[in-house]
Copies of this chain bind each other. A is one copy, B any other.
Amino acid sequence: MCELLGMSANTPTDICFSFAGLMRRGGQTGPHSDGWGIAFYDGKGCRSFHDPAPSSRSEIARFVRSYSIKSRSVICHIRRANRGRIALENTHPFIRELWGRLWVFAHNGQLKGVKRLPLGFYRPVGTTDSEHAFCWMLEQLRRRWDRPPPVKTLAAEIRRLAQELNRLGVFNMLLSEGRALFCFCSTELAWLTRRAPFGPATLIDEDLTVDFSRETTPDDVVTVIATRPLTVGEPWRVMERGTFVAFRDGEPSG
């Protein structure tokens, strides 16, 4: 099983603290040692780092951790390979352009027979089930709309597509086009919104505490989404199986 991490915020926010906890699960406190990747939006642009090496020993992960990149939308993934060999092209998150926006996708789970779903325009570069599922989802959106619909309409369609994929197995997913963060919980996903008054938080996987009241302004709203809660002492909301939530500016919407 892989681990997912996402962030949606109303102001550019540093994800280093959560990233630090997750990266430890890549081969150190967890078995997810088959690579990792992260994508940060910056306006319409997107910066991404991928490494097929275990995250707990990755030089690129150390760099990302030390180099504070602030973003309002982040998707991160650490991998335990089940389908598709360990290779850069099989390392999440996957990225494609649709409607002049960059779409980022990460998935945890297995999907039986997903490769029988027909593709047209988007074709996988690697050999994972996940990238096939991503290409298929974008294909459906593209066929349906020539330009982006309102975000509520888009969210409803993404929820429907996610439910369809979920019938093939396990489909925990994070998807974004830079503004909204769409999350589907097949078996395991939890989220937490931090807002004023901010307090301290302590990572489960590393002996690290951050006092968010010193790092934030009173108007900041930051939601973190992860396969399993990353901190102790904070009110994580564990999602029910089969549920969907879209975040925008750190707030759940629709």
**Residues of A bordering B, CB below 8 Å:** 42-50, 59-60, 63, 67, 87-91, 96-97, 99-102, 121-126
Contacts and interface: CB of A to CB of B under 8 A. Distances in A.
B44 A89 contact: yes
A100 B96 CA distance: 12
Contact of A43 (B46, B89, B100): B89
B45 A48 contact: no
B47 A50 contact: yes
Nearest to A68: B59
A102 B88 contact: no
The 8 A-B pairs with the shortest beta carbon distances in the complex, nearest first, are A45-B88, A45-B89, A100-B123, A44-B89, A42-B88, A63-B63, A44-B125, A59-B67
Copies of this chain in its oligomeric complex: 2
Contacts of A124: 100
The binding surface of chain A is classed by DSSP as mixed
Contacts of A87: 42-45
A85 to B, nearest CB: 10
A79 to B, nearest CB: 13
A45 B125 contact: yes
A132 to B, nearest CB: 11
Q: Which of A46, A49, A90, A97: most chain B Cβ within 10 A?
A: A97
A126 B45 contact: yes
A50 B45 contact: yes
Contact of A88 (B47, B49, B91): B47
B67 A60 contact: yes
B96 A97 contact: yes
Given A42-B87, A43-B87, A63-B67, 10 more contacts: A43-B89, A44-B126, A45-B90, A45-B91, A46-B89, A47-B49, A47-B50, A48-B48, A100-B125, A102-B125
29 contacts: A42-B88, A43-B87, A43-B88, A43-B89, A44-B88, A44-B89, A44-B126, A45-B87, A45-B89, A45-B90, A45-B91, A45-B125, A46-B88, A46-B89, A47-B49, A47-B50, A47-B88, A59-B67, A60-B67, A63-B63, A96-B97, A97-B122, A97-B123, A97-B125, A99-B123, A100-B123, A100-B124, A101-B125, A102-B125
Contacts of A90: 45
